[in-house]
């Protein structure tokens, strides 16, 4: 593909990303992959270049743009080399007209900028939400020791975590194939450390999804004890079994839950768990570095729905923990309504039956009854982590 044809391809893909953001369609990553499936003429360099253009444009537009061309024109405004590729030749975008609509630049839609600022995320902290995310890898101590780590990484603040340069082909390494390592953001690893799961304990990962955190918890339990992974999403949960097998975490059981009927499905665990992790569904404002178009999708009504589910899941989890046990509440959000305020509301409802127990982690800043990790300060995805103890 010529450089100009790559720009036109990026515009076409952006149109799909914008439509999907409006209609709750597929994520940008999938749309890019699918677009190239039917265009076999594109080589790997083309794919990489187009992908980079698409993501540059998504990051640049705070509000959802009208169309892909308006988004690309925003980039071209500050990039003369890109602007000259709008030359109208074969496969190239049409020449730029005077007064053509250009998308609005910015970090996020205005209501989210306001909500973040009210939660203490502004200026450099807000700008860092759109940086490129690092590549973090966790050593799976169920399978290997530190000698298994592929070359080229640097150890982070955690004893089992290394950071690699962008583009390192971790999933092509023998260590990954043999289940010795997992790609996992450092913040996500630290959230698992907050559970302090020990060998022989009984632990529930209530919102396990595909099991990223379940696998880390299994490793801290040395594979000994009971570890139940539950979720309401059959597809996500079904990804856990093959991952657990690769990771040597045979102790993990899974259970599919019905929304609103979680307590009945878990009645055999009532008051039994040493620890329950609630990695709750949330706005994902802490993960925009990886999914920048997520900020085009979120609405105040959705945020309110997340908040309601989080509060309910905290109450469900509270029934599962034994006296003296731990409840860990995690969201990958930087909004206080899904973090400090949600955690405080839980304590208020609990009326003395639970107390906050701040986890000792090598990163994060206290916020309300918990800790917050931010991309700028901690160089992790944004997370809120609170731990409670049953009194
Ligand atoms: C933040 S994601 C979990 C990510 C996962 N823990 C990981 O580390 O990969 C939140 C999960 O909560 C699940 N979920 C939503 N409502 C739920 C409910 N009522 N009970 C349990 N899980 C629920 C979603 O399906 C989603 O997989």
**125: in domain:** no
Structure tokens at 44: 């790997």
40 has a pLDDT exceeding 90: no
The answer to the question of residue 304 being in a domain is: yes
Q: Are residues 217 and 180 in the same domain?
A: no
Residue 287 CA to residue 172 CA, distance in Å, equals 24
Is 332 an annotated catalytic residue?
yes
Residue 116 lies in a domain: no
Which residues, at least 6 apart from 314, have a Cβ–Cβ distance to it below 8 Å? 278, 280, 327, 329, 342, 346
CA distance 50 to 53: 5
Between 24-38, 319-333, 367-381, the lowest mean confidence (pLDDT) is in 24-38
Q: Is residue 124 part of a domain?
A: no
The 10s digit of each residue's pLDDT in 286-306 is 999 999 999 999 999 999 999
> Cα–Cα distance between 77 and 300 in angstroms, integer?
31
The number of folded domains in the chain is: 3
C-alpha 367/C-alpha 386 separation (Å) is 9
Element (H, E) at 204: strand 202-205
- Per-residue pLDDT of 232-264, as tens digits, reads 999 999 999 999 999 999 999 999 999 999 999
Cα separations in angstroms, 94 against 67, 80, 90, 282, 381: 14, 16, 9, 40, 39
226 Cα to the center of ligand 1, angstroms: 20
Atom index in ligand 1 nearest the CA of residue 233 equals: 25
Q: Is the ipTM of this complex over 0.90?
A: yes
Are 180 and 198 contained in the same domain?
Answer: no
Are the beta carbons of 129 and 205 closer than 8 angstroms? no
For residue 208, the enclosing domain spans 188-390
Instruction: Please indicate, yes or no, whether residues 33 and 99 belong to a single structural domain of this protein.
Output: yes
> 135: closest CA among 107, 156, 118?
156
pLDDT in tens, 194-227: 999 999 999 999 999 999 999 999 999 999 999 9
Residue 38: its pLDDT value, please? 87
Beta-carbon count within 10 A of 366 CB: 10
pTM of the predicted model as reported, rounded to 2 decimal places: 0.95
Phi, psi (degrees; rounded to nearest 5) at 203: -130, 145
258 carries a ligand binding annotation: yes
Mean pLDDT score across all residues of the chain: 96
Bridge partners, residue 354, by sequence:
390
CATH label of the domain that carries residue 143 = 3.30.70
Ligand 1 centroid to residue 42 C-alpha, Å:
36
Decide the pairing of beta strands 273-279 and 202-205: parallel
Q: Which residue has the tokens 């800043």?
A: 365
Domain assignment present for 264: yes
pLDDT score, position 268? 98
Q: What is the CATH number of the domain that holds 252?
A: 3.40.50.150
The separation between the first and the last C-alpha atoms of the chain, rounded to the nearest angstrom, is: 64
Domain match, 295 and 167 both: no
Distance 90 CA to ligand 1 centre (A): 47
Residue pair 184/139 in contact (Cβ under 8 Å)? The answer is no
Q: Assess if residue 115 is contained within a domain.
A: no
* Ligand 1 pocket mutation, candidates 232, 310, 316, 331, criterion most atoms within 8 A of CB: 232
Q: Are residues 321 and 200 in the same domain?
A: yes
Q: For residue 378, is it within any domain?
A: yes
3-state secondary structure of 162: strand
Residue 111 domain-assigned (yes or no): no
DSSP 105: B
Kindly state whether residues 380 and 289 are assigned to the same domain: yes
Q: Provide the 8-state DSSP code for 225.
A: S
Q: Ligand 1 atom 2: the closest Cα is on which residue?
A: 281
Q: Count of residues for the chain?
A: 391
Both 100 and 204 in one domain: the answer is no
């Amino acid at each position: 593909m010529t450089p100009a044809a790559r720009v036109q391809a990026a515009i076409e893909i952006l149109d799909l990303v914008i439509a999907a953001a409006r209609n709750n369609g597929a994520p940008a990553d999938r749309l890019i992959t699918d677009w190239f499936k039917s265009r076999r003429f594109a080589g790997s360099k083309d794919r990489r270049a187009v992908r980079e253009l698409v993501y540059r444009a998504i990051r640049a537009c705070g509000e959802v743009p009208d169309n892909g061309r308006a988004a690309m024109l925003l980039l071209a405004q500050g990039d003369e080399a890109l602007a000259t590729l709008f030359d109208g030749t074969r496969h190239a975008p049409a020449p730029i007209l005077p007064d053509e609509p250009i998308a609005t630049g910015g970090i996020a839609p205005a209501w989210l900028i306001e909500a973040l600022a009210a939660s203490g995320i502004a200026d450099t902290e807000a700008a860092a939400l759109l940086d490129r995310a690092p590549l973090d890898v966790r050593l799976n101590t169920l399978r290997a020791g530190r000698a298994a780590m592929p070359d080229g990484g640097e150890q982070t603040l955690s004893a089992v975590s290394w950071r690699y340069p962008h583009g390192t082909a971790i999933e092509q390494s023998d260590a990954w194939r043999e289940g010795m390592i997992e790609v996992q953001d450092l913040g996500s690893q630290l959230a698992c450390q907050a559970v302090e799961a020990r060998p022989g304990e009984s632990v529930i990962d209530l919102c396990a999804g595909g099991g990223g955190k379940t696998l880390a918890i299994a490793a801290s339990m040395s594979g000994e004890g009971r570890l139940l992974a539950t979720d309401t999403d059959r597809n996500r949960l079904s990804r856990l079994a093959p991952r657990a097998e690769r990771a040597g975490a045979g102790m993990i059981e899974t259970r599919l839950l019905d929304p609103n009927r979680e307590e009945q499905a878990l009645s055999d665990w009532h008051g039994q768990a040493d620890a329950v992790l609630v990695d709750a569904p949330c706005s994902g404002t802490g993960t925009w570095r990886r999914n920048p178009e997520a900020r085009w999708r979120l609405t105040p009504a959705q945020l309110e729905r997340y908040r309601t589910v989080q509060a309910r899941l905290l109450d469900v989890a509270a029934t599962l923990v034994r006296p003296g046990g731990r409840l860990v509440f995690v969201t990958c959000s930087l909004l206080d309504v899904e973090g400090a305020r949600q955690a405080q509301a839980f304590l208020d409802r609990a009326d003395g039956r639970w107390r906050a127990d701040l986890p000792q982690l090598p990163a994060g800043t206290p916020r309300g009854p918990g800790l917050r990790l931010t991309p700028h300060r901690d160089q992790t995805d944004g997370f809120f982590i609170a731990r409670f103890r049953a009194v």
